[in-house]
Structure 1
């Protein structure tokens, strides 16, 4: 069978091409698996350990659990007629953050559902995916998301650092100075909750800080490509209220003049009852 060596070489070449494509865009590979309900390509690209931190499923580890998770998600996505729109990507080395807007049909209406997916490859055989979102858009409830990380040493500088300092101290006027005139904050519960421009931002942050004090974050990891800074964190306090540590991510997008054009938040934190 003289064709066999050529066939084998071609198959190996195809596998290498799949690996190259998947490693270049791991989140796309991940969502292809979820949409199609198949893990074949994902397992070819990442034959080592695959770990998923998911708000609904918890921690999924290994190829066997991956297959069950993908099949369950495929059924859910099909049931809710889901489609995914990619909004922004931030990539630095072996780590990437992709911001998405899922459109799902729920209770007879289409619901926009913001989320962010982090992909991190500790080596060329393994990958970790972390998804952040609020589940409020699809079930009307907040869900406490335990920390994914212990506090780290991520210390953003420039305007992001100034913004976080003002957020921690509850200083509305200082935080407004970090935005361009038409800058905005996007809450995690959907595009109807975007606050744009000085008046809307002042109203939003005044309400946010109405409990006295600011928002207490533990910085964990950071991905910064110079335009967008994605900060994974644990939120531990809201004003004078301690809250159970909860995992989230925020993306800070800079304008060309060095101020913030946007802050997009992905967590499921319940504000204090008295807010």
Structure 2
């Protein structure tokens, strides 16, 4: 059958094209799977290993557990009438970070829930999805999160590095000096918990005190920097993520936090 090699080649090219489309925007592919309850497109895009680190479900590894997690998550989203909008994104190499704002029902009222998802591709067949958020908006409780990644010698250049160093030293004045005068920090518990301007930032960081963030991984496009970290020195280490926006003056225009740290 002289046509069969051409037919097989066409099928393989179609598969590769579908994989390329899925891999071009991995977080949105992941969110689509969570929304429609099917893991097929995700598994076709990443036929190797797909690992999920979820605040509620923990570590999900293997196709069987992935399918069960996606089905359960779809049911949870439907029960809470969840809808999601994209706030921002950073893509550097094989790592993508997408900031989201989910609107969900909690005790009969709609609440805004900030969530960040990291997609980290180890190779062309496998990927990690790591979700960071506080669960306070959806159940009114803090859930300390064990480290997902180990601390690593990650470079945090410029103003981000100065912020991390000043926070570790408990030097509130130096922390506040890393911000532009009209900059803000958004707490992980929701967009209504924003501290803007020098006086509000001073009060907020004075109350927080010393926090030793041990960097684990970054995605930095020069304007925005997403930093995955472990907070140490307050009992057991806890995982979190912060997104830093730099202003044109080289100072921080915004910091948005995604963790469940008190």
Structure 1 residues 145-195: Cα deviation after superposition (integer angstroms, max 9, x where no partner):
111122111130101111111111111221111111111101000011011
Q: Which residue of the partner structure matches residue 137 of structure 2?
A: 137
Distance (Å, rounded) in 2 between the aligned partners of 1:39 and 1:3:
33
Q: Which residue of the partner structure matches residue 226 of structure 1?
A: 222
Aligned pair in 2 of structure 1 residues 75, 257: CA closer, same or farther (>3 Å)? same
Q: Which residue of the partner structure matches residue 243 of structure 1?
A: 235
Structure 1 residues 10-55: Cα deviation after superposition (integer angstroms, max 9, x where no partner):
5434322221121111000000000000111101100000000111
Distance (Å, rounded) in 1 between the aligned partners of 2:9 and 2:112:
45
Report the 3-state secondary structure (helix = DSSP H, G, I; strand = E; otherwise coil) of the residue aligned with 2:192: coil
Q: Which residue of the partner structure matches residue 126 of structure 2?
A: 126
Distance (Å, rounded) in 2 between the aligned partners of 1:231 and 1:146:
16
2:148 matches 1:180:
no
Report the 3-state secondary structure (helix = DSSP H, G, I; strand = E; otherwise coil) of the residue aligned with 2:180: strand
Q: Which residue of the partner structure matches residue 273 of structure 1?
A: none
Report the 3-state secondary structure (helix = DSSP H, G, I; strand = E; otherwise coil) of the residue aligned with 2:122: strand
- Map of 1:74-85 to 2, 5 A cutoff? 74-85=74-85
Q: Pick the aligned partner of 1:216 from 193, 212, 216.
A: 212
Q: Pick the aligned partner of 2:256 from 245, 264, 267.
A: 264
TM-score scaled by structure 1? Answer: 0.91
Query: May I ask how many residue pairs the two structures share in their alignment?
Result: 262
Q: CA deviation at 1:105?
A: 1.2
Report the 3-state secondary structure (helix = DSSP H, G, I; strand = E; otherwise coil) of the residue aligned with 1:243: coil
Distance (Å, rounded) in 2 between the aligned partners of 1:101 and 1:50:
24
2:246 matches 1:254:
yes
Report the 3-state secondary structure (helix = DSSP H, G, I; strand = E; otherwise coil) of the residue aligned with 2:89: strand
Q: Which residue of the partner structure matches residue 197 of structure 1?
A: 197
Distance (Å, rounded) in 1 between the aligned partners of 2:254 and 2:66:
34
Distance (Å, rounded) in 2 between the aligned partners of 1:55 and 1:64:
19
Q: CA deviation at 1:56?
A: 0.5
Report the 3-state secondary structure (helix = DSSP H, G, I; strand = E; otherwise coil) of the residue aligned with 1:155: coil
- Give the CA RMSD over aligned residues: 1.6
Note the residue ranges of structure 2 that are not aligned, 5 or more in a row: none
Report the 3-state secondary structure (helix = DSSP H, G, I; strand = E; otherwise coil) of the residue aligned with 1:77: helix
Q: Which residue of the partner structure matches residue 56 of structure 2?
A: 56
Structure 1 residues 193-239: Cα deviation after superposition (integer angstroms, max 9, x where no partner):
01111121111112112xxxx111211111111111111111112xx
Distance (Å, rounded) in 1 between the aligned partners of 2:208 and 2:239:
18
Q: Which residue of the partner structure matches residue 87 of structure 2?
A: 87
Distance (Å, rounded) in 2 between the aligned partners of 1:57 and 1:95:
22
